[in-house]
């Protein structure tokens, strides 16, 4: 069974690599043959050359932009998780708290990150605190809702059984509700991490002088399509690396699922 699973993973990786190579080859050929104007969509070779230019030299602006944007995402995301997860657990456990806060959450949740930018700039200026605030406000409501739903999905019979065995309320929360909700909470946080990137890119396009959003917006002003694509690809690569890191954290927090319990 294990060998079969490893073979399937290897097979998926090979097929995916072939698909990517074919896509890049068709893209390169379409531009070089004149089917696509290189001004509007440079070939992959030109995009790679532009990426190397931005990543090397004394400035290495692309690496700096990636680092700055990633820090902004992680700080804002971490703050939203630190506040949203405990609050979501409380709302999931207490019907009274849900009834009290649901109207407020229903108002905040539909607001896109862009809608918070004017207020955040008035309150905090255009410094790093403003970028953290944009990511926090763009992620907090989603973290709260995902955590609340995950908590409510824990089988109430498990909590009842624990109480019948003499467990206190805090013990039930720690040993029954939290472990039961944690897989769905982490799944929700992975979705929210992607949302955090949309928030920070929006904030950097409006009020920043460094970051991937700033790099993309500046390239647009100079009609540098290659740099726009470099910025977009850099976002995808960074998100992929953070997702791998998140999966490692998830395995550490969920050791009982590490070897594929749900097969």
Contacts of 91 (CB under 8 A, 6+ apart): 97, 98, 101, 102, 144, 147, 148, 151
Say if 263 falls within a structural domain. Answer: no
Say if 127 falls within a structural domain. Answer: yes
**What number of CA atoms fall less than 13 Å from residue 139's CA on the CB side?**
33
Say if 119 falls within a structural domain. Answer: yes
Convert the pLDDT of each residue in 141-199 to its tens digit.
999 999 999 998 888 887 778 777 777 777 777 778 888 888 899 989 999 998 899 88
Say if 262 falls within a structural domain. Answer: no
* Same domain assignment for residues 28 and 53: no
The two most distant CA atoms of the chain are separated, in Å, by: 75
- Does 260 have pLDDT greater than 50? no
Find the mean pLDDT for residues 108-134.
85
Contacts of 102 (CB under 8 A, 6+ apart): 91
* Same domain assignment for residues 52 and 146: yes
Cα 226 from Cα 219, distance rounded (Å):
8
How large a percentage of the chain has pLDDT more than 70?
92
Predicted TM-score (pTM) of this structure: 0.82
* Same domain assignment for residues 101 and 199: yes
- Does 42 have pLDDT greater than 60? yes
* Same domain assignment for residues 53 and 167: yes
Find the mean pLDDT for residues 93-106.
88
Which has the higher per-residue pLDDT, 43 or 4?
43
Q: Report the candidate in 21, 65, 24 with the shortest Cα–Cα distance to residue 46.
A: 24
Contacts 24+ apart (CB under 8 A), 254-258: 254/182, 254/183, 254/186, 257/183
Q: How many domains does the chain have?
A: 2
User: Which residue intervals of 128-177 are DSSP H helices?
Assistant: 128-152, 156-164, 169-172
Convert the pLDDT of each residue in 201-227 to its tens digit.
988 888 788 889 898 988 887 888 889
Cα 22 from Cα 25, distance rounded (Å):
5
* Same domain assignment for residues 107 and 228: yes
* Same domain assignment for residues 1 and 93: no
Say if 43 falls within a structural domain. Answer: no
* Same domain assignment for residues 110 and 19: no
* Same domain assignment for residues 196 and 72: yes
* Same domain assignment for residues 100 and 30: no
* Same domain assignment for residues 52 and 27: no
* Same domain assignment for residues 80 and 4: no
- Output b/e per residue, 5-25; b: 16+ Cβ within 10 A: eeeeeeeeeeeeeeeeeeeee
* Same domain assignment for residues 86 and 180: yes
Q: Which domain holds residue 235?
A: 48-257
Q: How many residues does the chain have?
A: 263
Say if 42 falls within a structural domain. Answer: no
Residue located via tokens 């109207």: 103
CATH code, domain carrying 70: 1.10.3720.10
Say if 185 falls within a structural domain. Answer: yes
Q: Is the CB of residue 108 less than 8 Å from the CB of residue 141?
A: yes
């Amino acid at each position: 069974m294990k060998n079969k699973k490893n073979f399937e993973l290897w097979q998926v990786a090979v097929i995916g690599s072939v698909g990517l190579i074919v896509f890049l080859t068709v893209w390169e050929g379409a531009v070089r043959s004149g089917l696509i104007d290189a001004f509007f969509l440079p070939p992959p070779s030109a995009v790679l050359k532009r990426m190397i230019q931005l990543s090397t030299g004394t400035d290495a602006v692309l690496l700096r932009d990636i680092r700055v944007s990633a820090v902004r995402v992680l700080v804002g995301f971490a703050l939203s998780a630190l506040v949203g997860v405990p609050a979501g657990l409380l709302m999931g456990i207490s019907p009274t708290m849900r009834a009290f806060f649901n109207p407020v959450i229903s108002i905040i949740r539909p607001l896109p990150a862009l809608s918070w930018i004017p207020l955040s700039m008035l309150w905090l200026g255009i410094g790093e605190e403003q970028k953290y605030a944009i990511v926090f406000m763009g992620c907090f409501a989603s973290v709260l809702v995902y955590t609340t739903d995950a908590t409510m999905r824990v089988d109430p019979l498990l909590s009842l059984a624990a109480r019948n065995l003499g467990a206190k309320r805090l013990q039930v929360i720690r040993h029954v509700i939290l472990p039961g909700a944690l897989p769905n909470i982490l799944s929700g946080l992975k979705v929210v991490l992607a949302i955090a990137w949309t928030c920070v890119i929006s904030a950097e396009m409006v009020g920043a002088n460094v970051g991937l959003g700033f790099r993309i917006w500046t390239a647009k002003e100079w009609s540098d399509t290659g740099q726009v694509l470099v910025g977009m690809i850099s976002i995808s690569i960074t998100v992929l690396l953070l997702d791998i890191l998140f999966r490692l954290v998830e395995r550490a927090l969920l050791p009982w699922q590490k070897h594929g319990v749900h097969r």
